[in-house]
Structure 1
Amino acid sequence: MKKKADRKMTAIEKAVRDDTLADVKIYLGDVELPAHSLVLTAQSSYFKRALVGEMQEGKTRKFEYSEGSMHAYWRVFEYMYKGTYSEEPCIKLTELDDDELSKEVRVYQLADYFEVDGLKREALRRFTTKTIELWATEAFVDCIRDVYQSTSNKKCKMREAVVDIVNQHVPKLWEEPPFRDLVREGGDFPVDLMSRLVWAYDKSIRLGAV
């Protein structure tokens, strides 16, 4: 039974990788990615609504994307087919790839838009892993700004991750002018950070650490 199941899965995998069976076209700028509605609807609630509903793209079976990071879009579709995505840029795309931290932020943003929960978790995991070494770079400050400008959900996991990381390194980060400038800009980030610092201080008092 297991061998039959394995053969069946192999046949399915071959089918969804066969461009001649593709029934959807994805355009990343000028680059065309042949896709399969079976894969897209199974992985993404967004595409399920689009392809079975009244959206114009669902009727034409064409989805065109020309704004934002094309490499991030490519990684989203790569994940839908492979269950993972590459750190390397897509060789078909001519634009520059995102930096190491922004790469995960952009993938997370698109995973949220396309409603691919597994991809959101993977992008968040990679982001938190990378910040272990990259939190001290100026790119991290830009990344914080990007996360907060591109999200509005107060319970966004990427926002929570950013605040967690900053909370661990506040003294060092505060020495850096770009970080102080970010705080002076106001908005949700300094409010979230202050809430975390107050919570941590209150907890330390209750535990007798202060």
Structure 2
Amino acid sequence: MSSRRPVCAVCGASVRSPFRPPPAEMAPDLDLRPGEPTRSTLPRWLQVCGGCGAVAPDLAALPPTAAAVLGSAEFAELRTRLPGCLPFLRWAMLARPEERREALLQAAWVADDAGDLAEAVSLRRLTASAWGEPESPESALRLIDVLRRAGEFELARARAAALDPDAMDEVSAQILVFQRARIAAGDAGRHLMSSVVRPPASRPHVAQARRPKPARRGLWGRLLGG
């Protein structure tokens, strides 16, 4: 059986299949940047079309709006002081709205790896502005981490104050408590999920007695093996 090679959704040029990174063996960051060995493969996550210059993790899945953006002066003039960030910023311009924040956050990860704190902060602020209203507690916690690491402590504090740990699963509640403490301390540093999540307490909190909370569900469960 023959398989058709994928093509760019903008120009129809033949492109390689999307990159599949190896599974992470170490804990992710609180913004869900994966641990190693996945982390080191970041420069390979995007495809660049040899025909039209479009950029995306999957060029065959670009939205119909990408062609107009690709031909715009804004796309052509896009600049960054870190060349490694440029593909992710181009993807952010071409991506669907729900993907834009991930593209910008991944550009911030590139800046992290380059040791450029100022660029990483700037990109995280762009990420936060593109985030929109979080669609889940996990999304809200990621946004809080983005704001904290960007030094936007007042915005991060307000977001954290609006969340109720008693209405969350155990892992989310632990992350929220940790984030509140780091925000209060003015800590804009990187933290691993493994440094936050504690084993279940032997005696439940009174709120847990009223409404049992599953220890690990959804996104956190998949990440932490629960």
Q: What is the TM-score when the length of structure 1 is the normalising length? A: 0.36
More strand by share: 1
Q: What is the TM-score when the length of structure 2 is the normalising length? A: 0.34
More helix by share: 1
